[in-house]
Amino acid sequence: MRSDGALLRTADPDDLEALYRFEILCFQEHRFRRDHVDWILRNRQALTLVEDGPDGVEAAMMLLFEGVVCRVLSIAVAPDRRRRGTGTAMMHAAEAICGERRLSTIRLEVSTENLGAIEFYRRLGYRTDGVLYGYYSWGEDAYSMRKTILSAEPVAVRRRPGFIFRNK
Ligand SMILES: CC(C)(COP(=O)(O)OP(=O)(O)OC[C@H]1O[C@@H](n2cnc3c(N)ncnc32)[C@H](O)[C@@H]1OP(=O)(O)O)[C@@H](O)C(=O)NCCC(=O)NCCS
């Protein structure tokens, strides 16, 4: 499904250790706790997409479906793989999933201190619709950002466990 041909797969609870290691790799501080990652992997309203590389997980995105809204709980690309379009391609995959599920909106929260991620989302068309003061447990504020999904993009999906997306 990724526009550059890379494969995304859905993660399941067996990916917990790999995803938690990836969380530690990508977030110097304020990362998800292991049990939170486990909760996401087991949540039927959530979907975690992973891109694997030769040395393990290279990118991951966690989505939570809330009615007609898809919430991006987390997105991360391995530090040595950043600024190559991987994050953009994963967000496009999220938008394609929303189109397929006929969801109208993607929303997310991002720390007001995370200037790189804010620029990343802005460039993708996400707009700030509020400031959430003291949103994070460590006290930082967050911007609430959202994007309206206008149309369903075609998405190639294999309906079986494991890899589900492939390039057109
Ligand atoms: C945010 C993140 C997912 C972006 O992934 P990525 O693969 O590097 O993003 P892309 O290569 O698709 O970037 C697309 C554009 O977004 C903007 N952008 C991305 N990272 C940026 C940064 N650190 N600073 C400024 N702009 C940035 C740029 O405009 C970039 O285009 P360019 O490289 O041509 O200038 C990645 O930096 C990351 O994993 N960060 C740590 C985890 C995190 O903070 N996640 C978000 C909060 S949950």
Block means of pLDDT (10 residues each) for the chain, length 168 residues?
71 97 93 96 97 95 97 97 97 94 96 97 98 94 94 45 41
pLDDT of amino acid 159: 38
pLDDT of amino acid 160: 36
pLDDT of amino acid 29: 87
Helix (H) or strand (E) holding 133: none
pLDDT of amino acid 28: 86
- Residue identifier of the C-alpha nearest atom 42 of ligand 1: 76
- Residue identifier of the C-alpha nearest atom 48 of ligand 1: 74
Ligand 1: centre distance to CA 159 (Å):
30
> At what angle are helices 16-26 and 34-42 packed, to 10 degrees?
130
Residue-range domain boundaries for the chain: 7-104+149-166
Query: What is the pTM (predicted TM-score) of this model?
Result: 0.90
pLDDT of amino acid 2: 53
In order of 14, 141, 164, the CA distances from 138 in angstroms are 29, 9, 36
Buried b (16+ CB within 10 A) or exposed e, 120-158: bbeebebeeeeeeeebeeeeeebbbbbbebeeebebeee
Cα–Cα distance, 4 to 73 (Å, whole number): 24
* The CATH number fitting domain 7-104+149-166, selected from 3.40.50.1860, 3.40.630.30, 3.20.20.70, 3.40.50.300: 3.40.630.30
Ligand 1: centre distance to CA 83 (Å):
6
- Residue identifier of the C-alpha nearest atom 19 of ligand 1: 120
